[in-house]
């Protein structure tokens, strides 16, 4: 399936319900494991989302918190901290129906080109069981640290003459 026109825009308070739904969609497999009812699960997800959102908004020096739009409609989020010594991918996520269509791949490649131009590494955390792990390795990320359920991965600049 081909993607439409992809763009980014800064998040606003009006996006909080969409961001909550997006967050919950990334945790849907866990719901089956705990066996909670819908109401209890939603309360838990709202609490977890609120904590994560607050932590993200407070703990980065030069963040961009963007909604990923396809043909003007929100389909995901891309949060990046562009620090003086590295780019940190805080979070990248898409709604289930927008996954596996190249949207995140194109955004990642654009971000890697930008970091290459500045000569800065890119880092991220990824869950050990996330199927995207192999893709990150193909992009040149390597495991820098094992942090229990997450890997901390870094991609150093490839240098001039090599493209992403």
Q: Is-contact 106 148, C-beta < 8 A?
A: no
**Residue pLDDT, tens place only, 14-46:** 999 999 999 999 888 787 788 788 899 999 999
Is pLDDT of 160 > 70?
A: no
Is pLDDT of 162 > 60?
A: no
Separation of CA 73 from chain center: 18
Q: Which residues pair with 73 in a beta bridge?
A: 70
Identify the residue whose tokens are 């901390």: 152
Q: What is the CATH number of domain 6-155?
A: 3.40.630.30
How far is the C-alpha of 94 from the C-alpha of 92, rounded, in Å? 7
**Residue pLDDT, tens place only, 43-74:** 999 999 999 999 999 999 899 999 999 999 99
- The widest CA-to-CA distance across the chain, in whole angstroms, is 54
**Residue pLDDT, tens place only, 75-121:** 999 999 999 999 999 999 999 999 888 899 999 999 999 999 999 99
Task: Say if residue 69 is exposed, middle or buried (CB neighbours under 10 Å; 0-12, 13-18, 19+).
Answer: middle
**pTM for this structure?**
0.89
Domain locations along the chain: 6-155
């Amino acid at each position: 399936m081909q993607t439409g026109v992809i763009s980014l825009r800064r998040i606003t308070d009006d996006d909080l319900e969409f961001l909550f739904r997006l967050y919950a969609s990334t945790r849907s497999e866990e719901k089956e494991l705990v066996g909670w009812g819908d109401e209890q699960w939603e309360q838990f997800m709202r609490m977890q989302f609120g904590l994560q959102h607050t932590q993200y908004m407070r703990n980065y020096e030069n963040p961009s918190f963007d909604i990923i739009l396809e043909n003007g409609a929100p389909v995901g989020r891309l949060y990046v901290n562009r620090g003086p010594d590295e780019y940190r991918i805080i979070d990248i996520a898409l709604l289930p129906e927008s996954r596996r269509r190249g949207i995140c791949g194109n955004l990642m490649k654009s971000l890697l080109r930008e970091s290459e131009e500045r000569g800065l590494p890119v880092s991220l955390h990824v869950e050990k069981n996330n199927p995207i792990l192999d893709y990150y390795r193909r992009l040149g990320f390597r495991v820098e640290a094992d942090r229990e359920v997450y890997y901390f991965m870094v991609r150093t600049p490839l240098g001039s003459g090599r493209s992403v």
